[in-house]
Amino acid sequence: MNSYLEILRPVNGLMTIIALILIGIIEKSIDMPLLIGILAVFLATGGGNVINDFYDYKIDYINRPERPIPSGKISLKNAKNYSLSLFTIAIVLGIIISIMVNSYLPCLLVILNCVVMYYYGYSLKRILLIGNISVAYLTGSCFIFGGLILGKIYIPLFLYFFAFMMTLSREIVKDMEDIEGDKLENANTFPIKYGLKNSSILTLISILVPTFISPTLYFIKIFNIYYLIVLSIAIILFLVSAYKIMINQDKNTSHEVSKLIKIGMFISFIAFAIGSI
């Protein structure tokens, strides 16, 4: 794979694209501004991944020497310029979208997220819980972005909340999984500061709140019965995840729970799409 494509982590970019496609399916409107929005999100996310690797290059020399920067395939200078170029193109696309939909909000959100991604790589990820919250915000904000483009807000707001809470739970669990390595690097994560048990309680809350709220979208007639049927599979996975992390907080369990939450989120997104048909 070309190094400049590899450093974008295109698989991560595809996950953000799914959010906008899902909004388009739910709102039954996939138009040109939304398609441009998909490109903007992909490029901005890529820029965020590049600047993250730029600031992590010393750690990656030890832990991920095969990555483009530590392997010497991309210089530090080129990586930073590449990231800033991607952010700039994304912002220009945001301006075009705002002109097309006659609203400055999509452009403002693109600018805000580019700034958050830059400072996440620079410093935010090292601040207790702020790094986790930043990732959760950025994940959920893709739904808000799609809603702003289409002039819709209520369902995108719920999807933002759902993605934010589930991503936050997964970020905490991943920190629980990596606690030993993070201690060696003097990282300031929630599990290190407050312990695994308190981390499992925070994870439990982050999982259960959106899990119990989600079915109400059927009962208030936003989605059809197929939504509830598919969602029930995700709910089972979320409940199993919550149970497992409360019973055991070791590395293997944390890794398993992280995967279960990720699968549950994917199934939930399918439920949202099917429920809108």
Q: What is the mean pLDDT of residues 189-206?
A: 94
188 φ/ψ angles, rounded to the nearest 5 degrees: -115, 75
CA–CA distances in Å: residue 178 to residues 118, 185, 190, 191, 192: 23, 11, 11, 9, 10
pLDDT above 90: residue 195: yes
pLDDT above 90: residue 224: yes
pLDDT at 144: 96
What whole-number distance in Å separates Cα of residue 266 and Cα of residue 260?
A: 10
Model confidence, pTM: 0.92
Mark 187-211 as b/e (b = at least 16 C-beta within 10 Å): bebbbbeeebeebbebbbebbbebb
Answer whether 144's CB lies under 8 Å from 156's CB: yes
pLDDT at 1: 58
Q: What is the pLDDT of residues 34-92, one digit of tens each?
A: 999 999 999 999 999 999 999 888 777 776 788 898 888 989 999 999 999 999 999 99
What whole-number distance in Å separates Cα of residue 82 and Cα of residue 138?
A: 20
Give the dihedral of Cα atoms 79, 84, 88, 90; nearest 10 deg: 60
Reading the block at residue 59, the tokens are 């750690």
Question: Which of these ranges, 7-21, 148-162, 192-206, has the smallest mean pLDDT?
Answer: 7-21
What whole-number distance in Å separates Cα of residue 180 and Cα of residue 45?
A: 29
Q: What is the mean pLDDT of residues 242-249?
A: 95
Instruction: Read off the DSSP letter of residue 64.
Output: -
> Quick check: do 1-152 and 153-277 share a fold?
no
Q: Domain residues of the chain, as ranges?
A: 1-152, 153-277
pLDDT at 237: 97
pLDDT at 184: 74
The third-level CATH classification (topology) of the domain covering 1-152 is Tetracycline Repressor; domain 2 (1.10.357)
pLDDT at 2: 86
Q: What is the mean pLDDT of residues 246-256?
A: 93
Question: Mean pLDDT of all residues in the chain?
Answer: 92
pLDDT above 90: residue 3: no
The third-level CATH classification (topology) of the domain covering 153-277 is Four Helix Bundle (Hemerythrin (Met), subunit A) (1.20.120)
Q: What is the mean pLDDT of residues 254-268?
A: 94
CA–CA distances in Å: residue 114 to residues 3, 38, 91, 106, 206: 22, 15, 8, 12, 26
Q: What is the pLDDT of residues 90-144, one digit of tens each?
A: 999 999 999 999 999 999 999 999 999 999 999 898 889 999 999 999 999 999 9
CA–CA distances in Å: residue 84 to residues 69, 114, 119, 270, 271: 16, 9, 12, 34, 36
pLDDT at 15: 79
What whole-number distance in Å separates Cα of residue 118 and Cα of residue 114?
A: 6
Q: What is the pLDDT of residues 132-180, one digit of tens each?
A: 999 999 999 999 999 999 999 889 999 999 999 999 999 999 999 988 8
Question: Which residue blocks in 102-224 are alpha helix, DSSP H?
Answer: 105-122, 130-150, 154-177, 179-184, 190-213, 216-219
